[in-house]
Amino acid sequence: MHEPSIGESMGNAADFWDSVAGTVTAKVEPVIGRGEKQRGPVIDYLRDLEVLARRQCGSRETVQIIASGRRLLGDRSEIGPPDGSFTRG
């Protein structure tokens, strides 16, 4: 089965961002408690997704969901200022 990439999923941006909570859950749950080899690619995906969300999505809740997924996997890095504005113009 082909899983759409972030870029492919952006075809209908509103639907994509509305489905992010489910996407994050589906990616995070199977690798919680697994080794770095399993968690690493998911963390990288979520970092990229968070960068896109900060640029393209107007919902702080969406960014928080993505960041929470990263933290559940042990990633404590900061993608952007926690209380700063989005880069979306």
pLDDT tens-place string over residues 55-84: 999 899 999 999 999 999 999 998 876 545
42-80 burial code (b ≥16 CB/10 A, e <16):
bbebbbebbbbbbeebeeeebbebbbebbebbebeeebb
Q: Classify residue 80: in a domain, yes or no.
A: no
Query: How many domains is the chain built from?
Result: 1
Q: Is residue 89 part of a domain?
A: no
For residue 61, being part of any structural domain is answered with: yes
Does the residue 24 lie in any domain? yes
- Contact indicator for 27, 45 with CB cutoff of 8 Å: yes
Residue 2 maps to a domain: no
Helix axes 60-72, 36-56, angle to 10 degrees: 170
pLDDT band for position 10 (50/70/90)? low
Evaluate whether residue 35 is within a structural domain: yes
Domain that holds residue 32: 13-72
pLDDT for position 1 = 40
- Residue 84, domain member (yes or no): no
